[in-house]
Structure 1
Amino acid sequence: MSKKVVSIAAGEAHTLALTGDGSVFSWGRGTFGRLGTGNDTDELSPVRVSFARSDGKGEAKFVGVAAGAYHSLALQDDGSVWSWGYNIYGQLGHGEENSSVPKVIEQFKELGATNSLSREQNAGGQTTFLKVSSIKAGGMMSLAIDNLGALWIWGNSPQPGSTDEEVFSLVSSSSPLPVWDFHGHTVVKVACGNEHVVAAVSVGENFSGADLMCYAWGNNNHGQLGLGDKEARARPQSISTFGEDSPWAIYEISCGAFHTAILTHKKSYDQEIESRCWTFGLGENGQLGHGNTMSTSLPEPVNGLPRETILISLDCGLFHTLVLSASGDVWSWGMEKGLGLCPGAGLAGDDAGDALFPVKLHCSEAPGGLFPLPVQVACGAAHTVLVAGDGDKLWAWGRGRSGVLGRGHTADSFVPAPLMWPSSEAGLKKEVQNQRNYEIKPSIHRSGSSSESATDRKLSDAMEELSLLREKHALMERYATVLHVSIFRKSLDQRNLPQSLYDSEVFDIKRELENVMEAADTEELARLQMFYEGMLAAVKDKLLKRRIKEFVKEHILSLSLGRQP
């Protein structure tokens, strides 16, 4: 797993990737030092970012990455936050100068100090020191969530006015500031656009299952806050569509420059499992996926997506949106066919123009055109990067200038193309060529001896059988993933599979279920409970309907035979 990609993030024209061994890679445009390589040079393929630790304790290990328009963030496993790139608004969290090398944000480093005032006592009287647990960036601002669920924000971020607490203004701050409005609650997820922020926050003090509320604040000139108007908000305000009484539970959020996208699933399992994508804000390039170029200030579902599809991930670019399904489908919509490209970038005829409805993307290197187990997608201003195949395969498409697609050149790509990952560049090329060879079945044998013809026929039969096995394997993977996502509401991770599957041919489902429950956190147990209660209710309902149907059938039969019921 060490060289597999576990997380990606995209800025305006650069991309970051985090691998399983805690390394960070970057590529694309180098202006302002956003790649962290020590200079402003573009990188046409992924390069590893070096981090100079001051304590001399060897290589730093990282667990998260985030990208703003022209700056980058990385979260170390000890809670330290590093930043580099453009810094005119203080989005790096230190000083005002741009930085072409990663620097640690001292304020967060101090949170974990033994003499820090930023600590709390739990119910047992034990002291908990604060440290950052997740990071996010967008536009010219940066955000972080600490291990107690508090949200921090810095850079060019929405804040109350200096004279009026209700008047919105953008304030530049190089020091991370806590968002006190959520004190007593847990911030679970956060996303930000150019000038607005959307957060998923627990209803109570702690998060347990599907009890999230959605809050938004900042600029609202296109309705990107989802509050039903276009008035800016200085402080977080609840989006009523996803309120406590809503039938929809939030599990993913993303922001484009001036639009917002949210993934939800039905809170009740009484009916079939259903996930849905909602969008709102600026729509002039079709980035809302509603079939028109109108903006909307209230969340509306994207009806062009199949209702039976389980959506697992999404991201918004500047003016385009993408979603991934558990079965390997990828949909895109928005500017220039959902690629994010500006008009006239190279598409012509029927291929040109913005995508007003979701467009299903095709993977030419995979059987059936489905991406192998998509993991995550990241959208830049005019490019998109997809991690699939359990983290060992990457695809990129869109604008290629400055090497932002990571393919060793600057050409645009209008279809998903394999990215040159440094750990297995040669192997990737070979695998792509092999996949293409499998799709070419020889129809004319070479002239020569009968033994050569027999060998060709055997090779052709073997290729055909291998192709069928690959398709069957891909189908079983998608089936297992759909079942896992249906129950746990998160993608299947090979690292979490029971060890007994590797060690023995016998799989004790009862014992493994007990192990799963023992290792599960409160959120996972709540999801299991919801799933099984819903399934049990559905089974009881189905049995009752069948009994009623049989009773009516017997009653009608008795009447037709002249018997008294």
Structure 2
Amino acid sequence: MGKFCLPEDMSAVMIGGARRAAVTSVLVVLTLVAVVGDASVSGANGKPAGLTAAPAVAQRLVARQAPAELGAVTAIAAGYGHSLALRSDGTVLAWGRNSEGQLGDGTLDPSLTPVRVCAVGQVAPCTRFLTGVIAIAAGFVHSVALLRDRTVVAWGQNVTGQLGDGTSTDRSVPVRVCAVGEVAPCSQFLSGVRAIASGDSDHNLALLVDGAVVAWGFNAFGQLGDGGYAGSPVPVRVCAVGESAPCGRFLSGARSIAVGEGHSLAVVGTGHAVAWGFNGAGEVGDGTSDNFRPIPVRVCAVGETAPCDRFLNGVSALAAGAFHSMALLGSGSVVSWGYNVEGQIGDGTRDNHRLVPVRVCAEGQVAPCDRFLYGVRHIAANGFHSLAQLSSGGVLAWGYNGYGQLGDGTRVNRLTPVRVCAVGEVAPCGRFLYLIRAIAAGIDHNLALQPNYTVVDWGLNNHGQLGDGTTSDRSVPVQVLALQGPAKSSGDAG
């Protein structure tokens, strides 16, 4: 299943072919935004005009293959209607929507609580489970995992080749991602991978140990960065800045990667940010709103105007929402750029587009801000909201809040950061999340890894993506549950 989130018409959760059909309308939509201004003013209920949740589907209340307990979680990830957790033993848990097999348990049955992801080649009911995993990522309705041997597996929807196995066949258990240049059935597989990234998207990035970047999946906006617009069911190399297709040089020296709905980001060299793909809202950050950038361009410095003379540097990490981007600087401060109608940029305004980075305001500020966010350890973004994890372990959120995804106990959009409440609080909250180890942003829900290595989440829950055994939205964090049951022995990835 797929969805291309149109900023001015988010009412449809577009599936499969409907997503691809929406591609041709995106330019018209964003042009209208630029001409008319803010056409998605929030309604009385706090959600953008026309936004409706996908109807909740029947959920299984007893999850098959559920672990005896959640176990010590070391990493988390979130997509549209599903969530992932990586345990310290290298196994992966998943919960929520499963209509395309994105839970990886060999079925298409949704689950309100975690189930274990099957090993490569298994058929439900699985007797062996995925192990040796060191990193996870969640796309819109697919999932990706990096294994200890530096290869990659993926599962879920595959209509645009986002699983990277050379086909367009959905997979309810993991399959191996092919090597660059392979044709199905692949005989060689992607290797030497250091990091993976996916998001509110149907494409993925992989950062290789040599600093190169490869991409696969949907490419109608140039988000694969290979200079063209043809999707690829196997990885292709991302071109170097300044190249034109067919590229003779490729991106090198990359240190970090991030994926938005139609655009991609990387930190290269000594901390420069580059971006490519869809740019109708300025999410590429080069000072323009030219529609597509199929080749990476450098992100401008704060305060620049196109054509920029200075560029963003000192970047340690990146994050991307549907149509906006964020950068964490080495100083612990955060800058953002792109689409801002829901306040997801965090500069205290709802101006349509920020074509170059602006500084994110401090908590409690009102535009024009005179204090700015600092002391940040990690950032995350998805959909139309943003998150920051502080060095102290507290969590801040800002932007769209129609489903409670900011976690402050309300459904009020926030133009500057607010603190995420503690489990069990009611607004106005007196206690807040603290000593958090990691954060993950889904399209309309979020996860946080607690000091005791358990998981809490909040926001939209129409598919059970919060893992608390219900389909009720939550405006403050709730604990992810795990059903009691006999533990299964784990096998290897294949």
TM value normalised by structure 2 = 0.70
Task: Tell me the residue number matched to 1:298.
Answer: 356
Distance 1:400 1:317, change over 3 A: same
Which residue identity is paired with 1:398?
A: G
Q: Percent identity?
A: 29
Task: Tell me the residue number matched to 2:397.
Answer: 332
Give CA-to-partner distance per residue, 1:30-66, whole Å, 9 cap, x none.
1111111112111101111111369x99963111111
Are the aligned partners of 2:272 and 2:311 in contact in 1 as well (CA < 8 Å)?
no
Q: Distance in 1 between matches of 2:300 and 2:136?
A: 31
Matches within 5 A, 1:29-428: 29-52=97-120, 60-94=131-165, 95-107=167-179, 131-138=192-199, 139-157=201-219, 170-181=229-240, 183=250, 185-202=252-269, 211-231=270-290, 232-241=292-301, 249-266=314-331, 275-294=332-351, 295-305=353-363, 307=372, 309-336=374-401, 339-340=404-405, 351-364=410-423, 369-389=431-451, 392-421=453-482
SS at match of 2:471: coil
Question: Larger radius of gyration, structure 1 or 2?
Answer: 1
Distance 1:59 1:297, change over 3 A: closer
Equivalent of 2:86, from 18, 25, 49? 18
Distance 1:201 1:339, change over 3 A: farther
Task: Tell me the residue number matched to 1:489.
Answer: none
Task: Tell me the residue number matched to 1:539.
Answer: none
Q: Distance in 2 between matches of 1:370 and 1:227?
A: 37
Give CA-to-partner distance per residue, 1:442-500, whole Å, 9 cap, x none.
xxxxxxxxxxxxxxxxxxxxxxxxxxxxxxxxxxxxxxxxxxxxxxxxxxxxxxxxxxx
Q: Distance in 2 between matches of 1:142 and 1:247?
A: 24
Distance 1:59 1:236, change over 3 A: closer
Which residue identity is paired with 1:35?
A: L
Give CA-to-partner distance per residue, 1:320-377, whole Å, 9 cap, x none.
1111101122111111268349xxxxx9xxx443211211122146997243421211
Which residue identity is paired with 1:226?
A: G
How far residue 175 of structure 1 moved from its aligned partner, in angstroms, is 1.2
Q: Distance in 2 between matches of 1:423 and 1:304?
A: 43
Distance 1:44 1:184, change over 3 A: closer
Are the aligned partners of 2:320 and 2:381 in contact in 1 as well (CA < 8 Å)?
yes
Which residue identity is paired with 2:202?
A: M
Which residue identity is paired with 2:252?
A: H
How far residue 169 of structure 1 moved from its aligned partner, in angstroms, is 5.4
TM value normalised by structure 1 = 0.61
Long gaps (5+) in structure 2: 1-69, 241-248, 303-307, 364-370, 486-494
Structure whose residues are more often helix by fraction: 1
How far residue 176 of structure 1 moved from its aligned partner, in angstroms, is 0.5
SS at match of 1:75: strand
The count of corresponding residues between Structure 1 and Structure 2 is 378
SS at match of 2:264: strand
Long gaps (5+) in structure 1: 119-128, 203-210, 267-274, 342-346, 425-565
Which residue identity is paired with 1:61?
A: G
Q: Distance in 2 between matches of 1:58 and 1:419?
A: 21
Are the aligned partners of 2:382 and 2:441 in contact in 1 as well (CA < 8 Å)?
yes
How far residue 301 of structure 1 moved from its aligned partner, in angstroms, is 0.5
Are the aligned partners of 2:274 and 2:296 in contact in 1 as well (CA < 8 Å)?
yes
- Structure with higher RCO (Cα < 8 A, 6+ apart): 2
How far residue 171 of structure 1 moved from its aligned partner, in angstroms, is 2.2
